[in-house]
C-alpha cells in the first residue's frame, strides 16, 4: 500500500500558472464582468456594434504592423500544417484585416466594439500581464474630425460610467511629429524616434535626449528642438500657439495643430469639461500604425500606473490588406490595468456572489415551498441563491455574511404556517417581516425597492 501511495505522489503535477498569466477567483470575475457590461453599454449608446475575430492569425497579418517591439513580444509558432501563425497582440490589426476581408458586407463608416483577450510576451509589472483583456471601439471609413471628437467623448463617458471622476484624457497628434520629421529629413528614423519618446515618462528628458543622440543618432539641433517641443507645458490654448509656431515650416504639422484645436473645441462644446482633455506634446504611442490624433487616459490619483484607455487615428493600416482607403480611429480600455488601479485606490467593493439574496434552508419539509419562493423572486428579476442543504441557521448566516449577500430570507415551520418570512439585512442586522400572500407580492416589492436604493449609480 505504501508503494502505491509513493508512486501516486511521484506523478502528481504541481498546480501552477505560467508567468504573466492568471486565474480569476469569483470575486475578481464578478467585478470584471461589471466593468465589461458598463463598457458594452457605453459603446452601444454611440452606435458601435460587436464583432469577434480569431485568437490566431496568419503571421503575415500581424508581423510588422505594430513595430519592432510588438514583433518581439508576439507569441508565434508553426501549427500542425506547418503554417506560421501568431496570437493577436492587439485588436486593431485584426480589425483592419477583418474590414478588408468583409468590406462588401459592411456599411461605411463601420463602428464596432470588440472585447477579447490579447497576448504579449512582455515583462510583467503592476497592472500589466502577458494575457489581458482589451475593450476596443473603432470607427472605420471616416476621415472627419468628428470621429476623432467622438473617440474622446466615448472615453469621457466610459470613465464616468465606471464611476471614475478624477481623470485626464491626454491628446497629441502624430501629424505634428511627422511634419517635423519631414522638415529635418528624418522619416526613416521616425519609428525609432517615437519609440524613444514613448519612454519619456519612465526615464526622463535627459536620458531620452542621450538616447536620441547616441542610439538614434540625431544631430544636436533636431534633438534639442524635439525635446523642447515634447516637454512644453501650458494651457491648451498656449500649447496650440506654441505648436503652431514650431510647425510653421511644415503644412502637415500645421494641419495636425488645427485638427487638435477642432478636437479640443468639439470636446468642450459637448461636455462643458474642457479641462478633462489636455494637450500633451510628449505623448507618442509606441505602435507604428498611428498617423493622427492619439489619446491616453490617466487617473489623476494614480498616474504612475499608466494609461488605462489609449488609442488614436490610423489612416493607412487597412491599406495593407486592400486597395480601398479605409481610415480608422478608436481606443481601447485596458481592463486589467484599470482594475488594478481601482483596487489600489480602494474604489472596488468586494463582491463574492452574483445574487444579492439568499434563502436559508433549514426545514426539509418545506423544500418545495423554498423552490417556489426562489422561482418567484427570479421571475421578478431578483437574483437569489437557495442554500444547498438544511443546516442550522447560524451556519447559513455565517456563509451568507462571508459571501456578501445583502439579504437573507428566513422561513421555517412557524413562518410558513403563518404565511410570512423574515428578511434579514446582512449589513445593518435589522429584520423585516414580509407577507408571502398574493404570490409573495409584499416580499417582491420590498426587495425590489431595497436593492434599487443600494444599486450604485453610474
Q: What is the DSSP string of 272-324?
A: S-GGGEEE-TT---S-TT--SEEEEEEETT-GGG--SEEEEEESSSGGGT-SS
- Whichever domain contains 383, its CATH number is 3.40.50.800
Q: Among 176, 118, 109, which Cα is nearest to 140's?
A: 109
242 and 128 in a common domain: yes
Handedness of CA 142, 168, 260, 156 (dihedral sign): positive
pLDDT at 5 over 50: yes
Counting Cα atoms < 13 Å in the Cβ hemisphere of 387 gives 28
Q: How many CB atoms lie within 10 A of CB 297?
A: 26
Q: CA-to-CA distance for 49 and 59, rounded, in angstroms?
A: 27
Question: Is 286:90 a contact under the CB 8 Å cutoff?
Answer: no
Give residue 60's pLDDT.
Answer: 94
Give residue 409's pLDDT.
Answer: 97
In-domain check, residue 14 = no
In-domain check, residue 7 = no
The single residue listed with the C-alpha cell 504592423 is 65
Q: For the ranges 36-40, 49-53, 314-318, 393-397, which has the lowest average pLDDT?
A: 314-318
Number of domains in the chain: 2
pLDDT at 457 over 50: no
337 and 380 in a common domain: no
Grid cell, residue 281, equals 506634446
- Whichever domain contains 312, its CATH number is 3.30.930.10
State what percent of residues in the chain have pLDDT above 90: 65
290 and 196 in a common domain: yes
pLDDT at 234 over 70: yes
Give residue 458's pLDDT.
Answer: 37
pLDDT at 245 over 60: yes
In-domain check, residue 34 = yes
Order of strands across the sheet that contains 277-279:
49-50, 110-119, 131-140, 328-334, 309-314, 293-299, 167-173, 277-279
327 and 430 in a common domain: no
> How does pLDDT run across 287-339, given as a tens digit for each residue?
678 899 999 999 999 998 889 999 999 988 788 888 888 999 999 999 988 98
Surface-to-core class of residue 72, CB atoms within 10 Å of its CB (0-12 exposed, 13-18 middle, 19+ buried): exposed
State what percent of residues in the chain have pLDDT above 70: 96
Grid cell, residue 232, equals 512644453
Q: CA-to-CA distance for 298 and 301, rounded, in angstroms?
A: 9
361 and 337 in a common domain: no
3 state DSSP class of 422? strand
Q: Among 379, 313, 276, which Cα is nearest to 151's?
A: 313
Helices 200-214, 190-197: inter-axial angle, 10-degree rounding:
140
pLDDT at 2 over 60: no
In-domain check, residue 16 = no
Average pLDDT, the chain: 90
323 and 233 in a common domain: yes
Mean pLDDT calculated for residue range 106-121? 95
313 and 363 in a common domain: no
In-domain check, residue 352 = no
In-domain check, residue 139 = yes
The single residue listed with the C-alpha cell 476596443 is 136
pLDDT at 440 over 70: yes
The residue that leads in pLDDT, 276 or 192, is 276
For the question of whether the overall pTM of this predicted structure is more than 0.75, the answer is yes
In-domain check, residue 15 = no
Give residue 456's pLDDT.
Answer: 43
405 and 286 in a common domain: no
Domain range enclosing 424: 357-454
334 and 219 in a common domain: yes
Question: Which residue, 314, 344, 374, sits at the end of a domain?
Answer: 344
131 and 90 in a common domain: yes
3 state DSSP class of 366? helix
Mean pLDDT calculated for residue range 231-242? 94
Q: Among 119, 128, 134, which Cα is nearest to 35's?
A: 134
> How does pLDDT run across 340-361, given as a tens digit for each residue?
898 888 888 777 899 999 999 9
Question: Which residue, 344, 367, 395, sits at the end of a domain?
Answer: 344
Strands 84-87 and 110-119: unpaired
Question: Is 416:360 a contact under the CB 8 Å cutoff?
Answer: no
**pLDDT bracket for residue 208 (50, 70, 90):** confident
Between the CA atoms of 134, 140, 143 and 145, what dihedral angle is there, to the nearest 10 degrees?
Answer: -40
> How does pLDDT run across 70-107, given as a tens digit for each residue?
889 999 999 998 999 999 999 999 999 999 999 999 99
Surface-to-core class of residue 315, CB atoms within 10 Å of its CB (0-12 exposed, 13-18 middle, 19+ buried): middle
**pLDDT bracket for residue 228 (50, 70, 90):** confident
- Sequence length of the chain is 458
Question: Which residue, 315, 344, 373, sits at the end of a domain?
Answer: 344
Grid cell, residue 256, equals 495636425
> How does pLDDT run across 404-439, given as a tens digit for each residue?
999 999 999 999 999 999 999 999 999 999 999 999
3-state helix, strand, coil in the chain (%, to 5): 50, 20, 35
Strands 357-359 and 407-410: parallel
Give residue 287's pLDDT.
Answer: 66
339 and 363 in a common domain: no
| Distances from the Cα of 332 to the Cα of 90, 113, 221, 425, angstroms | 9, 9, 36, 39
Q: How many CB atoms lie within 10 A of CB 364?
A: 9
Greatest mean pLDDT among 201-215, 228-242, 296-310, 372-386 lies in: 372-386
Q: CA-to-CA distance for 354 and 351, rounded, in angstroms?
A: 8
The residue that leads in pLDDT, 104 or 286, is 104
Amino acid at each position: 500500500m505504501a508503494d502505491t501511495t509513493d508512486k501516486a505522489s511521484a506523478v502528481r503535477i504541481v498546480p501552477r500558472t505560467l508567468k504573466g498569466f492568471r486565474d480569476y477567483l469569483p470575486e475578481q470575475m464578478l467585478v470584471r464582468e461589471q466593468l465589461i457590461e458598463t463598457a458594452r453599454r457605453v459603446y452601444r449608446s454611440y452606435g458601435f456594434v460587436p464583432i469577434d475575430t480569431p485568437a490566431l492569425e496568419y503571421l503575415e497579418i500581424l508581423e510588422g504592423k505594430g513595430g519592432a517591439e510588438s514583433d518581439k513580444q508576439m507569441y508565434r509558432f508553426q501549427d500542425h500544417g506547418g503554417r506560421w501563425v501568431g496570437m493577436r497582440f492587439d485588436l486593431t490589426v485584426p480589425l483592419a484585416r477583418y474590414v478588408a476581408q468583409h468590406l462588401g458586407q459592411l456599411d461605411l463608416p463601420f463602428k464596432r466594439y470588440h472585447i477579447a483577450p490579447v497576448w504579449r510576451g512582455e515583462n510583467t509589472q503592476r497592472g500589466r500581464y502577458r494575457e489581458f483583456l482589451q475593450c476596443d471601439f473603432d470607427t472605420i471609413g471616416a476621415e472627419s474630425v468628428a470621429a476623432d471628437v467622438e473617440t474622446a467623448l466615448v472615453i469621457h463617458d466610459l470613465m464616468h460610467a465606471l464611476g471614475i471622476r478624477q481623470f485626464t484624457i491626454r491628446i497629441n497628434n502624430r501629424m505634428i511629429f511627422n511634419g517635423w520629421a519631414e522638415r529635418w529629413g528624418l522619416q526613416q528614423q521616425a519609428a525609432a524616434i517615437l519609440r524613444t519618446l514613448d519612454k519619456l515618462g519612465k526615464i526622463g528628458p535627459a536620458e531620452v535626449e542621450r538616447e536620441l543622440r547616441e542610439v538614434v543618432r540625431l544631430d544636436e539641433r533636431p534633438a534639442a528642438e524635439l525635446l523642447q517641443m515634447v516637454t512644453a507645458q501650458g494651457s491648451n490654448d498656449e500649447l496650440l500657439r506654441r505648436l503652431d509656431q514650431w510647425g510653421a515650416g511644415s503644412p502637415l504639422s500645421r494641419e495636425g495643430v488645427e485638427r487638435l484645436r477642432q478636437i479640443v473645441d468639439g470636446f468642450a462644446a459637448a461636455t462643458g469639461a474642457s479641462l478633462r482633455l489636455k494637450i500633451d506634446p510628449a505623448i507618442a504611442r509606441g505602435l507604428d500604425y498611428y498617423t493622427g490624433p492619439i489619446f491616453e487616459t490617466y487617473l489623476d490619483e494614480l498616474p504612475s500606473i499608466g494609461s488605462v484607455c489609449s488609442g488614436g487615428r490610423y489612416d493607412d493600416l487597412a491599406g495593407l490588406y486592400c486597395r480601398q482607403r479605409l481610415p480608422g480611429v478608436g481606443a481601447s480600455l485596458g481592463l486589467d490595468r484599470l482594475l488594478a488601479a481601482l483596487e489600489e485606490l480602494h474604489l472596488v467593493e468586494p463582491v463574492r456572489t452574483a445574487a444579492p439574496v439568499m434563502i436559508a434552508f433549514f426545514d426539509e419539509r418545506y423544500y418545495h415551498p423554498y423552490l417556489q419562493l426562489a422561482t418567484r423572486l427570479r421571475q421578478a428579476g431578483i437574483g437569489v441563491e437557495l442554500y444547498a442543504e438544511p443546516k442550522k441557521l447560524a451556519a447559513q448566516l455565517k456563509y451568507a455574511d462571508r459571501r456578501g449577500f445583502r439579504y437573507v430570507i428566513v422561513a421555517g415551520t412557524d413562518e410558513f404556517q403563518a404565511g410570512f418570512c423574515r428578511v434579514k439585512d446582512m449589513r445593518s442586522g435589522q429584520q423585516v417581516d414580509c407577507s408571502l400572500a398574493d404570490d409573495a407580492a409584499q416580499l417582491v416589492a420590498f426587495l425590489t425597492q431595497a436593492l434599487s436604493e443600494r444599486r450604485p449609480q453610474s
